[in-house]
A = this chain, B = another copy of it.
Amino acid sequence: MAQPAAAKRGIPPKDDFNAWYPFMVEAAELVDKRYPVKGMDVWRPYGWKAMRLIDGLTHAEMERTGHQEVNFPLLIPEQLLEKENRLVARLQRAREEGVDPSELRMDEEATGFAREVFWVRHAGETELDVPMFLRPTSETAMYSMFPLWIRSHADLPLKTYQMVNTFRYETKQTRSFIRVREIHFFEAHTCHVDEADATRQIEEDLEIAARLMHDLCLPTLVARRPLWDTFPGAHYTVGIDVVMPDGRTLQVASVHHYRDQWARAFDVRYEDAQGEQQYCHQTTYGMSERLLGAVVGVHGDDRGLILPPAIAPHQAVIVPVLAKEGADDVLAACRELQAQLRDAGLRVHLDDRDLRPGQKYYDWEIRGVPLRLELGPRDLASGECVLAPRTGGKDSVPLAGATEAVKEALEAVAAELRKRTEKANNTCIHVLPPLTRSATGRLSLAEPVEPGRIYEIPFDGSDAEAAMVEELTGHSFLGDAREPFAKARKCAVSGKSTNRRVWLARSY
């Protein structure tokens, strides 16, 4: 049997995802990993453009929903971290003692909540009076300013966001976009008059996420995280995960309802209509360059990336097919076609390099350009050009109506990506049969668990039972699906009746 074309070109097969992914992020010139600091890649123009297009979608959503963009300093003084430490310690104690955290006082000592942050303690030859750290996220920085901006209920809701670089000292293996030490990050932070209004914000955030994921052609799992996997200081966390080709889930967004817990720690208050001081209820919504990692991982194939048209730096590339005769006419027609498509607002590149068409096809396939247009002397003679979608197929269309045809073809590529990924997601999720329990109360699996699968179970057990399930399956609790079972089922562990639909997965 002949060797597949991709293998000839040195591309690992996508089935070997752990080889394919790191190969592809460099082969498609998204990033360069040769920068001499571990976990800090250089964004190359093509990758950065794709990321900025994703950011553009996010900006548009923020504008639509009345969020305002701010930009906070990168460096956070140590004392603000201590404030956060006290908050977390207080909440841990409340959880252990089973009391409402608002009943506890705020003057506990910090418990040395070890954060994976980079520290700045020196500048030039000077040791700084106050050590500072590079933001891993901006709660502490922002919530020390919000009290200065909020006076009364008329200032609420306060809806802000920023797109910034954040830093985590990852000790695990790093992976481009997925686990890096400098993170291109989006974070929205909001303040509200009460819990109900903050809850409405959570719903709006999930709607924003759904719209973005639609543009990225990514199906998601939206789950309320178990308590032990809730963000520090949060009342609850909703995680949004994408299933990667190896069956592991990648959290690409998370939304946190803080109630008034951070507000109490940072004194974020307002005067209500009756003149009384009240604590704000707060939410945050975070996303990152992982969105691009998910796009790369989910949509690519053995030949390279496939970029959703909404974020492709080149939505279409025009490749002239030149013969000895009429080359000038073909090139002129290609330029005219490019101008026509650009006037319609499309991002179109004309590849007029002095290379054979086959080499160009290969280059743009690797880079995942959703649509290739070919134009040669025969096409020109018949007043047509060839459309070759990256998802397969080929078609000739009249040059005169090319703009509409290109727009339709791009829509079709997006629809095809959504169809493929929905299907992959559905085949990935399996029902875990009820666990069996021995006379001594020991749980065991009814059938072996496969690492590349996500399992769905009805569950209403205790934290201890959840921990047992995690140990038996090697999978973690992703959390409660946003949509519980319509009809009650028997809990896979206790047998009790429940509507809770819980997912188990291996995660990145």
Partner-B contacts on A (CB < 8 A): 32, 34-37, 40-45, 48-49, 52, 68-75, 77, 79-80, 114-126, 130, 132, 134, 141, 144-145, 148-149, 160, 164-165, 167, 169, 182, 184
Contacts and interface: CB of A to CB of B under 8 A. Distances in A.
A44 B68 CA distance: 9
B40 A73 contact: yes
A124 B120 contact: no
B124 A117 contact: yes
Number of copies: 2
A70 B117 CA distance: 25
A35 B141 contact: yes
30 contacts: A32-B145, A35-B72, A35-B145, A36-B77, A36-B79, A37-B73, A37-B130, A37-B132, A40-B73, A41-B73, A42-B71, A42-B72, A42-B73, A43-B71, A45-B68, A45-B70, A48-B69, A48-B70, A73-B182, A74-B167, A114-B124, A115-B124, A116-B124, A117-B123, A117-B124, A118-B123, A120-B120, A120-B134, A121-B122, A126-B169
A119 B114 contact: no
Contacts of A132: 37
A487 B494 CA distance: 98
B148 A32 contact: yes
Contacts of A123: 116-119, 169
Contacts of A182: 73-75
Nearest to A76: B37
A115 B144 CA distance: 31
A119 B121 CA distance: 7
Contacts of A141: 35
Contact of A42 (B45, B70, B125, B126): B70
A164 B184 CA distance: 11
A148 B132 CA distance: 34
A44 to B, nearest CB: 6
Contacts of A144: 35-36
Contacts of A70: 42-45, 48
Nearest to A67: B45
